A and B are shown apart, each in its own frame.
Chain A
Amino acid sequence: MTTGKDPIPLQSHEGESDVENEIAELERRLAAAKAKRCCSSRSRVELSSLLEQPLSRPDLSHHFHLLLSDSALPLGSFAFSSGLESYLAHGHKSNPYHPHTSFAAFLPLSVSSYASTTLPFVLSAHRNPTLSNLAELDDAQDASIICTVGRRASIAQGRALLGIWERSFSPSLSPTSSPVSAAARDDLKSFALLVKKGGGSKETPDASAHLAPLFGAICSVVGLSLQQTAYIFLFGHVKALVSAAVRAGMFGPYQAQKILAGDTVQELITEMIKREWETRVEKAGQNVPVMDLWFGRHEVLYSRIFNS
């Protein structure tokens, strides 16, 4: 590899034997460094195992954190674009308001609007996941989603989550050893019954199973912190938006991951959680009025790939 024509100027004046010596020296140093690495990594393992014992029992909240933030959680989120598709259609050249649509402009607006209308319901349900509060929040949210398309999306995903709880999560939690209390399970069970029974009038059903309050309650029951719950909830919204943008052909999967990993999304979510931390559900509301128009007018799109 090293010859007289070696491009590195330092070596170009050196003789054959110097080069041989240098190789030998480098090889020796490499071997030494490898040995050192071996030792130090062993000692690190030893150190960490001293500090941190393997868990005698799985950390349930950590496990559910992963489950609930997984894109594979079958909520059907991929079917909804949260107004993105309609926003793009309205940004067409025949466009009323905006000739230039961009995902970079839509994302912060959408997250802000979603946080302002919906996050308080998640937070309240997490703080008090009892049956009475859950039912009340569900009813209040049903009254405050003032568009057919949004209501459809919220109920479809909420019912899917309730189904996952009933069929998958709840049966897999050991009734004796898991930290999930029997009372909490009973509350969710009664809520599911309320939804199934379909009581109340057609106008005002007893329970609809909207996503936000159920998400808050279930996260609370499996031990996720309020902050974690809020973060997963808003990040889930961002993931759904980004995936919708990929499906709508706005950009590819690498760009999608770049957006998801970026500082902007992290800071945005953190700021939105801070903004809505104390907001009572009665004070929640729409802060981007045109979002309601785009959302509501998803119904009048000629062709649609999403349900919202």
Chain B
Amino acid sequence: MNSPFPKSTSVPGEGHLVAKLLPEGISGLETFTYQYPLKLISPSRPSEDESVLVFLLSYGGGLVAGDQVNLKVDVRPKAKLTIVTQGHTKVFTSTSPDIVTRQDMHVHIASEGALCLLPDPVQPFAGSVYEQTQIFRLEDNASICLLDWVTRGRTARGEDWSFVRWVGRNEIWTIPTAEGDGKTESRERLLVRDAVILDSNRSHPELATLRDSMHGVGIVGTLLLRGPLVKSVGDFFLAEFAALPRLGARDFRSDAAKQAAALAHSTPREKWRAERLVMERDSKLLWSAANVRGCVVVKFGAPEVEDGRLWIGSMLQEEGSISHHFGDHALMCVR
């Protein structure tokens, strides 16, 4: 007697997802459990089958003070999983700074498995206290694409980095493959630990307030990439970063010469890049990309949330390999 509804675990906020490769060669879910306030939904008749799609939701559309979400994800060999959200993850005000709202995710990706996690940004309300820890343990040739971003809050209500505390920590580890051939490195190894701690508590009056220290940025984000399926998108970010115009360089060409050069953008890529650079300048978006121990780390910040979304969406769409490997649904939160 199989219930059509996924089983519930008994601990509040706990969830477990296992993605595996089905016999017909497409990815599907083997286990799929969750408990209030966490909610998971997977469309029963997906329109795309490059990867299995799961919506990560919470009841009421946000996390109430003191909510603890603890999601465990396993991606079996060669399976591809995409996790998205439906709108900003709202973090509601805490009645006391000791009441921490927490979201933890522990992900294990087996050999040649892949996870694409491009959610909407987290939107912490004034007075909220939030900590998020996401730990990804990757076997050989596993791939991860992860976006972690946070906004200044509800601007319509005048919120501007008005929360008490926001902490986001992401770790990528390599681990030995389950059925090891003995040749691979036998211990777990931390590749990247990216942590952002935004705290309204200034420990010294000389220090800028949290809002001032953000320097007008309304959204900050980090994209982490590792593994064969996201190698080309990682290389793309590094190449585009290297191709950025030098800051402080002067353009001595005449307007006519500039126009001629603009027209000479022969390839669509060059045209796209020229447009993107204008958009970056107009929206005051700053970004950087670096290769850290075999992972590509992209950091960006922009005054307007939507500009940040447009930018990351434009980059990922232009490169195209995320859609190719995970399906267009993987990009639904960044469009």
Contact = CB atoms under 8 A, between A and B. Distances in A.
A290 B214 contact: yes
A109 B198 contact: no
Chain A interface bracket (under 10, 10 to 19, 20 to 34, 35 or more) = 35 or more
A140 B193 contact: yes
A262 to B, nearest CB: 10
Nearest to A116: B197
A108 B281 CA distance: 28
Contact of A271 (B194, B204, B249): B204
Interface in A220-248: none
B1 interface: no
Contacts of A203: 191, 293-294
B206 A144 contact: no
B207 A289 contact: no
Given A286-B197, A297-B286, A108 B203 contact: no
B106 interface: no
A143 B215 contact: no
B38 interface: no
A89 B208 CA distance: 20
A84 interface: no
A293 B286 contact: yes
A290 B286 CA distance: 9
Contacts of B303: 97
Contact of A300 (B169, B198, B246): B246
B31 interface: no
Interface in B295-327: 297, 299-301, 303
B154 interface: no
Contacts of A144: 192-195
Nearest to B210: A287
A59 interface: no
Interface string A266-296: 0110011011000000111111111011011
Given A289-B198, A290-B213, A108 B290 contact: no
A171 to B, nearest CB: 34
A210 interface: no
A12 interface: no
B196 interface: yes
Interface of A: 89-90, 92, 96-98, 105, 108-109, 112, 116, 139-140, 142-148, 151, 201, 203-204, 264, 267-268, 271-272, 274-275, 282-290, 292-293, 295-297, 299-303
Given A140-B190, A143-B293, A146-B194, 18 more contacts: A89-B248, A97-B215, A98-B216, A112-B203, A147-B288, A148-B290, A203-B293, A204-B191, A264-B206, A267-B206, A271-B204, A285-B197, A287-B198, A289-B301, A290-B286, A292-B288, A293-B287, A300-B245
